[in-house]
């Protein structure tokens, strides 16, 4: 059996992954939302479910909120509730994609009144961060156009900068702004923040506490995502990840499910670039569980990240460097692949037990009775996101 060195164990112990509250709500495609028994009926129940993931994995100590999906009257009370369950409230995600006023844009809109409304929403999100103790405001913009000529591409970049500047100016202390990019959807001709370059340009113009958010599902098929990870870490501008996996578009499937090797390659560059356990980089999931049970779906997800992190930590960096320097292409590739093909699951199971956790968190959750309890107690769970 592979052994995990004390150094690797220490790095794995420090790893933490933030869970999205919306992963616990019902979700679907634009064709159908299937409801799942036991789905949370309010933000409190979403947090209770997220705490279950952390209880069996010790990997997920924070929950990200989406506003207004997770709107409550008293955020300080929500925070206390979360803390009592052993989790923190994490990133606050703004939402300017479900309001009729934003049909032609929000922060980029031609009409100053619409921009005002969108900026005010972000200022409200920062008020919420003050109450929840969250560090990061995550902004993803559903803005763009469908037809060539429809929009003034350049003017929109200028207005985006002005809007972001006003939002950024309201941050205080350790608070940060992370700007997420996505090359398509819901607009299909152009998107106002389509790529890491645009996000980088916009956040760089704001200041040190503005960073890029990389959602793994937001790239064209075939994009070398680990290269982007490397570059952003090199530039000190990788603020956060939204992890998920995809076969076709922005599928939001379980991270590591579609392409475990890609996840391994990304984590290798994270480690190489000093990003693992680096407080400047927030590791988040951004997923939906449309047909599978949600809590086990999230447990599987954080375990996939943990497994691929362990494999990436096993890459023999010295042997790799020697092979690279001597121009031995195949030897270098073999060092890399040896680590990827190492089954770390038995070693991780043993290591978990040594920390007082169950060797198999999926089985521990299944045996806990929690799923049966919520399925009987909760009726009429709410939809998480799309079409809510
Ligand atoms: C957009 C996105 C963004 C949203 C989330 C629900 O596709 O990735 O992060 O906030 O989905
Ligand atoms: Mn995302
Ligand atoms: Mn997405």
> Which ligand has the shortest distance to the CA of 219?
3
> Does residue 286 line the site of ligand 1, with CB under 6 A?
yes
Q: Do residues 378 and 42 make contact, with C-beta atoms less than 8 angstroms apart?
A: no
pLDDT at 379: 81
pLDDT-derived band of residue 358, with 50, 70 and 90 as boundaries?
very high
| d(C-alpha 37, C-alpha 53), whole Å | 18
Q: Which two tokens stand for residue 267?
A: 């984590």
Work out which ligand 1 atom sits closest to the CA atom of 215: 8
pLDDT at 383: 62
Residue-range domain boundaries for the chain: 6-377
369: CA distance to ligand 2 center in Å? 31
Q: What is the pTM of this model?
A: 0.97
| d(C-alpha 78, C-alpha 190), whole Å | 38
Q: Which two tokens stand for residue 301?
A: 């997800």
> Does residue 69 line the site of ligand 1, with CB under 6 A?
no
Predicted confidence (pLDDT) per residue in 119-171, tens digit: 999 999 999 999 999 999 999 999 999 999 999 999 999 999 999 999 999 99
* Ion ligand 3: residues, Cβ under 5 Å: 250
Residue 358 burial (CB count, 10 A): 17
Q: 46 vs 379, which has greater pLDDT? A: 46
215: CA distance to ligand 3 center in Å? 7
In this structure, the strands spanning 190-191 and 238-243 are unpaired
Query: Of all protein residues, whose CA lies closest to atom 4 belonging to ligand 1?
Result: 140
Predicted confidence (pLDDT) per residue in 238-260, tens digit: 999 999 999 999 999 999 999 99
CA-to-CA dists, residue 92 to 100, 192, 284, angstroms: 22, 21, 12
181: CA distance to ligand 1 center in Å? 10
> Does residue 93 line the site of ligand 1, with CB under 6 A?
yes
Query: Of all protein residues, whose CA lies closest to atom 11 belonging to ligand 1?
Result: 286
Mean pLDDT of 358-367: 98
Interior CA angle at 63 toward 278 and 358, to 5°? 80
140: CA distance to ligand 1 center in Å? 6
Share above pLDDT 90 across residues of the chain, in percent, rounded to a whole number:
96
Predicted confidence (pLDDT) per residue in 2-55, tens digit: 999 999 999 999 999 999 999 999 999 989 999 899 999 999 999 999 999 999
Q: Do residues 109 and 159 make contact, with C-beta atoms less than 8 angstroms apart?
A: yes
Q: Is 19 exposed, middle or buried (0-12, 13-18, 19+ CB in 10 A)?
A: buried
Query: Of all protein residues, whose CA lies closest to atom 7 belonging to ligand 1?
Result: 250
Q: Which two tokens stand for residue 235?
A: 């530039």
> Does residue 143 line the site of ligand 1, with CB under 6 A?
no
Q: Is 326 exposed, middle or buried (0-12, 13-18, 19+ CB in 10 A)?
A: exposed
* Ion ligand 2: residues, Cβ under 5 Å: 215, 242, 286
pLDDT-derived band of residue 387, with 50, 70 and 90 as boundaries?
very low
Return the CATH fold of 6-377: TIM Barrel (3.20.20)
Query: Of all protein residues, whose CA lies closest to atom 2 belonging to ligand 1?
Result: 140
Query: Of all protein residues, whose CA lies closest to atom 1 belonging to ligand 1?
Result: 140
pLDDT at 388: 40
> Does residue 94 line the site of ligand 1, with CB under 6 A?
no
> Does residue 244 line the site of ligand 1, with CB under 6 A?
no
- Among 233-237, 326-330, 380-384, the minimum mean pLDDT is found in 380-384
| Mean pLDDT of the chain, nearest integer | 97
> Does residue 385 line the site of ligand 1, with CB under 6 A?
yes
Tell me the HSE value of 53 on the side-chain side, using a 13 A CA sphere: 31
Mean pLDDT of 74-81: 98
Query: Of all protein residues, whose CA lies closest to atom 5 belonging to ligand 1?
Result: 286
pLDDT-derived band of residue 306, with 50, 70 and 90 as boundaries?
very high
pLDDT beyond 60 at 386: no
pLDDT beyond 80 at 381: no
| d(C-alpha 214, C-alpha 199), whole Å | 10
Work out which ligand 1 atom sits closest to the CA atom of 93: 10
């Amino acid at each position: 059996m592979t052994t995990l060195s004390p150094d690797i164990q220490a790095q794995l112990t420090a790893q933490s992954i933030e869970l999205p509250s919306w992963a616990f709500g019902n979700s679907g495609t634009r064709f159908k939302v299937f409801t799942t028994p036991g789905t949370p009926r309010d933000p409190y129940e979403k947090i209770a479910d997220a705490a279950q993931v952390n209880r069996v994995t010790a990997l997920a100590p924070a929950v990200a909120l989406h506003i207004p999906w997770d709107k409550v009257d008293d955020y300080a009370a929500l925070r206390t509730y979360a803390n009592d369950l052993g989790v923190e409230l994490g990133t606050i995600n703004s939402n300017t994609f479900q309001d009729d006023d934003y049909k032609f844009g929000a922060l980029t809109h031609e009409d100053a009144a619409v921009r005002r409304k969108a900026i005010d929403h972000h200022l409200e999100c920062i008020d919420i961060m003050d109450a929840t103790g969250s560090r990061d405001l995550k902004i993803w913009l559903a803005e763009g156009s469908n037809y060539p000529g429809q929009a003034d591409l350049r003017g929109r970049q200028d207005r985006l900068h002005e809007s972001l500047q006003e939002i950024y100016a309201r941050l205080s202390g350790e608070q940060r702004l992370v700007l997420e990019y996505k090359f398509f959807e819901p607009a299909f001709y152009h998107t106002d923040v389509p790529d890491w370059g645009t996000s980088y340009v916009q956040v760089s113009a704001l200041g040190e506490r503005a960073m890029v958010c990389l959602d793994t599902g937001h790239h064209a098929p075939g994009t070398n995502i680990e290269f982007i990870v490397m570059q952003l870490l090199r530039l000190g501008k990788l603020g956060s990840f939204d992890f998920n996996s995809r076969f076709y578009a922005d599928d939001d499937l379980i991270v590591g499910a579609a392409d475990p090797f890609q996840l391994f390659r990304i984590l290798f560059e994270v480690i190489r670039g000093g990003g693992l356990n680096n407080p400047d980089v927030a590791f988040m999931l951004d997923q939906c569980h449309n047909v599978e049970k949600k809590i086990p779906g999230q447990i599987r997800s954080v375990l996939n990240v943990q497994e691929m992190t362990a494999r990436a930590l096993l890459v023999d960096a010295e042997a790799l460097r020697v092979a690279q320097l001597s121009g031995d292409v195949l030897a270098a590739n073999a060092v890399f692949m040896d680590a990827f093909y190492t089954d770390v699951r038995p070693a991780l199971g043993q290591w978990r037990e040594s920390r007082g956790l169950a060797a198999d968190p999926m089985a521990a959750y299944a045996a806990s009775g929690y799923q049966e309890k919520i399925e009987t107690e909760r009726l009429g769970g709410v939809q998480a996101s799309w079409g809510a």
